[in-house]
Amino acid sequence: MKYKQLTENERYTLSVLRKQGYNQAQIAKALGRHRSTISREVNRNSCRIDNAYRPSKAQKRTNGRRRRSRRNKRITAEQLKQVKQLLVKDWSPEQIVGHLKIAGKPTISHESIYQFIWKDKANGGQLWKHLRQATKKRRKRYGAYDSRGRLASKRHISERPASVETRKTRGHWEIDTVMGKGSKHCIVTLVERKTGYTLIGQLDDRTTASLNRRTIKIMNRLDGLFTSITADNGTEFHQYKEIENATGTRFYFANPHHSWERGTNENTNGLIRQYLPKGTSMATLTQAKCDAIAKRLNTRPRKRLSFKTPEESFIGYYS
C-alpha cells in the first residue's frame, strides 16, 4: 500500500487520543491507518525537549519539509538549459511543457517556468521579454454603417462549404492585412485554418495591386495547397478575382465587423504583434524578415495540435 501522510485534521485527532491514553495501535485503528504511520508521525514530529506531540507544530514541520524537498526544486540544471533555449525561441511555458511531454522527457509545470522567468527578471534577466504581450482589443462598432466598398459578386461566408467551418480538412485559409505606423508599409497574412500554418508578405502599401502581387507570389510557394480563402471586407481585396484566376482558389467574405468569423487570422495577427508591435513603422521591413517571423510561428508547438507545430501538422499532411 502506498504511504500517505496524515492530514491536519488527523493530526489533531491523534493528539486528542494520545491525551486520553490511547496507545498507537488503538489510534491507528480509530484513524483507519497502519500502526507504522502513527509511529512514524509521532517520532518525526514530537518535540525533542519534552517529547510532547503538538498538532499545529507537527503541521508546520511537515509543510516546511515539503517546501525544502527535492521534488519542489522542480527544475534541474539540464531542464533549465532546455527551458532557456525554448524561451528564446518565443515558446510559451505551456508550449514548452507540452513539447517535453510528447518528447518523453522529464516534465515540469508551466507555473514553475513562469516563476523561473520572474526570478530571472528580478535579477536583471531578459527572458520575460520573450513572453507574448497582451494586445489591446480593437473597438467594435456594432450597428455602425459600413462605409467600405461593396462588391455585388463576392461570395458570402455562408456559401462556404461546411467542411471549412469544422476544420476537418486542410487547404482552407484566412487572409488579412496588418498596418504599421508612419508610412503606408504593411503586411498581408495568410493562415491555414486547421493547422495555423502562416505565410506573411511584405507590402509597400495596401493597394489591391500590391496585395495581389505579393499574395500570388507567396501562395505559389505552396502551389496547389490552397482550396479557399476567407477575407474581411477591406477594399484591398476588391480585386480578389485576380488571385482566384492565378491560383485556382475561391474567395469568401465574412460579415462586416465580425472578426470572430476569421478567428484564426485574428489570433495569429496578435502573435505577430510580438515581433511587429503596434505603433512601430514597417518602412524598413523586408520579405526576409517576414519569412523569419513566419518561421518562428510555424515552429512553435500549439496546444490545439497536441503540441505539434503548425509546420509538422501542415507539411507532414501533404508530404
Q: Encode pLDDT of 51-87 as tens digits.
A: 888 888 888 888 877 766 655 455 678 888 888 899 9
Helix (H) or strand (E) run with residue 199 in it:
strand 198-203
27, 32, 59 from 46: Cα distances, Å: 16, 21, 11
In contact, 265 and 176? CB cutoff 8 Å: yes
pTM score above 0.85: no
Split at pLDDT 50, 70, 90, the class of 318 is: low
Give the whole-angstrom CA distance, residue 84 versus residue 90: 10
Judged by DSSP in three states, 178 sits in strand
Helix (H) or strand (E) run with residue 172 in it:
strand 172-179
β-pairing, 186-192 with 172-179? antiparallel
Q: What are the percentages of helix, strand and coil residues in the chain, rounded to 5?
A: 50, 10, 40
In contact, 209 and 231? CB cutoff 8 Å: no
In contact, 113 and 83? CB cutoff 8 Å: yes
Per residue in 121-156, pLDDT (tens digit) is 888 888 888 887 643 444 444 454 444 445 657 899
Per residue in 231-276, pLDDT (tens digit) is 999 999 999 999 999 999 999 999 888 888 899 999 999 999 999 9
